[in-house]
């Protein structure tokens, strides 16, 4: 039982982490996300790091 809980905890930690803003992976993730769902901060960061 403890092993199962431990594995679930590790799984949540690994999937809960998002890529660093401005990284190549973050830019790719933002391109796949509908622009209507972006926040103003995300749009600004995308323009700053992924376009220019």
**Mind listing the pLDDT tens digit of every residue in the chain (52 residues)?**
887 777 676 666 656 678 999 999 999 999 999 999 999 999 999 999 999 8
- Is pTM beyond 0.75? Reply is no
Angle at alpha carbon of residue 20, lines to 15 and 23, rounded to 5°: 115
16-46 b/e (C-beta count within 10 Å ≥ 16 → b): eeeeeeeeeebbeebeeeeeeeeeeeeeebb
């Amino acid at each position: 039982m403890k092993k199962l809980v431990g594995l679930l905890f590790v799984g949540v930690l690994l999937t809960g982490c998002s890529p660093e803003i401005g990284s190549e992976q973050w830019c790719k993730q933002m391109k796949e996300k509908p622009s209507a769902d972006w926040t103003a901060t995300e749009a600004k960061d995308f323009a700053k790091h992924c376009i220019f």
